[in-house]
Structure 1
Amino acid sequence: MGLLRLGFAVGSYLLFFASFLYLVGFTGNLFDEAVGLTGIAGLAALPSIDAGPAAPLGVAIIINLALIALFGIQHSVMARPGFKSWLTRFWPASIERSLYVLATVAVLVMIYVFWRPITPMVWSVDADWLRMLLWGLFFAGWAILFIATCLLNHFELFGLHQAWAGFRGTAVPETQFRTPLFYKLVRHPIYTGILLAFWATPDMSQGHLLFAIGMTVYVVIGVRYEERDLIAHLGEQYVEYRKKVGAVIPGIGKAR
């Protein structure tokens, strides 16, 4: 049974990593660009934020907002301590996080499949230097996100640490409060990376703008609930940390 649970955790992680890489291509409309690099013409047919099945404007807005809401609800609800306590009554605690990861994969796949592009442009940058700058910020956002997961404990965040401990029959060590690198500048560098990646684009369509705004709303709500849980778990240490460090932008969002 322990080996089966470990396999579930590893499989969930690998699926998430694949869906994460796809998200980079999806939000950046990179599949057309990849055709020129790889010669694989079929890449151009992959859905992205501005390429896929069309729908009337009103229908597209409703579908896309529903997908964004589904992502936010899944992330917010499944991350709450109360939900975790309920879930682990009948689901092994060692792979509770892995189930969260797998559910995230399912929601991301739904976004990729059902997203309806709204292609009229809000802005499209012509200057080469500015396009390169925006592409640099786009990839920097994804890099910040990934590095931020590694600065704490990447494998614990994605459930592998817990599953390995369960397989070995050992307890997962209590999480210690640390503020390495990015965490000295902002409390939530993962969200910083997400916002940078979603907003930095040289070609912002109306559909992309809807996606960026929706995800920004999710981040604002997510920070509020996550900080409540962190204060409950870490106490005065985190209260003082909030007074010194901004939320997702350095210097902005310090607690009073």
Structure 2
Amino acid sequence: MEPLPARDLSLSARLAWFVVNLTLGILPTLLFFAWVEQDTDIPAVAHAFGWPWVELPMESVGEKLIWDAGLFALFAFLHSFFAQVGVQDRVRAVVPAPVVRSFYLAVSGSALFLMMGLWQHTGVKVWRLPLSAEAEAWAAGIVFAIPAVIVLWLVARLGFWDFLGWAQLFGPAAPVVRTAGTPALRTTGIYGHVRHPVYTGLLMMFLLGPTLSLDRLAVFAAALAYLSVGIPVEERKLIRLFGREYAVYRRRVPALLPTGRRVI
């Protein structure tokens, strides 16, 4: 099938896809980060959506962790599968090119929402600093916000509206393929310390805080495992894109931790 031409997408269709983008993609993703920041437990949200949708008869913490890891693996599979250029080409044969990014975000966001709705909490705390409730809330917010701001700044440098899919829906820009890489290789500034600073920031958001539940630690561990597989796959594409320049950069700069040695 040939890709559907962008001119066939009416304004009403663009607005409809914007609603899909927002409600199934961006809002569930923002909710996921808030859920992580709150140690995977936001009582008001859980009550509003009836989480968990299913309470499985699991007695051991290990069983719950295996189940939760499976939920994250489902998200990771969908997130990676629909990011593949070949898959996006097939999607583009079904929906117009300007909505491919919105479709991708909707799939990823829906998978995150499903994961949160089916998550089986362990009820285990790994650590908790001896702080008052008010001090703990302030500390948690600040520690979470610092890497979050860095991540947003980095995404903005790469093209914030393209990342959200809004430029493709409403602007003249050509559709952006999720895995095509950046137009220019960045090796200076923060990229001179780690090759994937966005991922480093996300991992910091998942792990750091005055309190840490086993559930939040499980999210961190699952994300780290996902990146340990995903980064080599992504970098093979970057080597095809930038050639020897990226291969030299990869040997010189660590992936995630600015240790002076290669990590992952």
TM-score scaled by structure 2? 0.76
Cα distance in structure 2, aligned partners of 1:72 and 1:172: 23
Cα distance in structure 1, aligned partners of 2:78 and 2:261: 25
CA contact (8 A) 2:26 2:105 kept: no
How far off its partner does 1:60 sit?
2.5
2:19 matches 1:20: no
CA contact (8 A) 2:88 2:100 kept: yes
The answer for the alignment partner of 1:36 in structure 2 is none
Q: Secondary structure at the match of 1:46?
A: helix
Question: Match for 2:81 among 77, 81, 87?
Answer: 77
Question: Match for 2:71 among 67, 70, 78?
Answer: 67
Which residues in structure 2 correspond to 1:75-224 (within 5 Å)? 75-126=79-130, 136-165=142-171, 168=172, 171=174, 175-179=182-186, 181-224=189-232
The answer for the alignment partner of 1:35 in structure 2 is none
Cα distance in structure 2, aligned partners of 1:191 and 1:123: 24
The answer for the alignment partner of 1:228 in structure 2 is 236
1:225 aligned partner, one-letter code: V
2:247 matches 1:239: yes
Identical positions, percent: 25
Q: Secondary structure at the match of 2:46?
A: coil
Q: Secondary structure at the match of 2:89?
A: helix
Cα distance in structure 2, aligned partners of 1:47 and 1:9: 27
Q: Could you say if the C-alpha distance between residues 237 and 123 of structure 1 is closer, same or farther in structure 2, counting changes exceeding 3 Å?
A: same
Cα distance in structure 1, aligned partners of 2:147 and 2:108: 20
TM-score scaled by structure 1? 0.78
How far off its partner does 1:142 sit?
2.0
CA contact (8 A) 1:118 1:206 kept: yes
1:249 aligned partner, one-letter code: L
Give the length in aligned residue pairs: 239
Q: Could you say if the C-alpha distance between residues 223 and 10 of structure 1 is closer, same or farther in structure 2, counting changes exceeding 3 Å?
A: same
Q: Secondary structure at the match of 1:123?
A: strand
Cα distance in structure 1, aligned partners of 2:89 and 2:261: 30
How far off its partner does 1:178 sit?
4.4
Q: Could you say if the C-alpha distance between residues 92 and 237 of structure 1 is closer, same or farther in structure 2, counting changes exceeding 3 Å?
A: farther
Cα distance in structure 2, aligned partners of 1:238 and 1:185: 14
Q: Could you say if the C-alpha distance between residues 206 and 30 of structure 1 is closer, same or farther in structure 2, counting changes exceeding 3 Å?
A: closer
Cα distance in structure 2, aligned partners of 1:188 and 1:138: 18
CA contact (8 A) 2:139 2:209 kept: no
Unaligned stretches of 5+ residues in structure 1? 33-42
How far off its partner does 1:124 sit?
1.7
Q: Secondary structure at the match of 1:250?
A: coil
CA contact (8 A) 2:239 2:247 kept: yes
Q: Could you say if the C-alpha distance between residues 45 and 164 of structure 1 is closer, same or farther in structure 2, counting changes exceeding 3 Å?
A: closer
1:46 aligned partner, one-letter code: V
Q: Could you say if the C-alpha distance between residues 30 and 119 of structure 1 is closer, same or farther in structure 2, counting changes exceeding 3 Å?
A: closer
Q: Secondary structure at the match of 1:47?
A: helix
RMSD: 3.2
Cα distance in structure 2, aligned partners of 1:89 and 1:124: 51
The answer for the alignment partner of 2:46 in structure 1 is 47
Q: Could you say if the C-alpha distance between residues 87 and 97 of structure 1 is closer, same or farther in structure 2, counting changes exceeding 3 Å?
A: same
CA contact (8 A) 1:145 1:190 kept: yes
Cα distance in structure 2, aligned partners of 1:196 and 1:220: 16
2:190 aligned partner, one-letter code: F
Post-superposition Cα deviations, 1:176-204, rounded to whole Å, max 9, x if no partner, equal: 21427433432212211110011112222
Unaligned stretches of 5+ residues in structure 2? 1-8
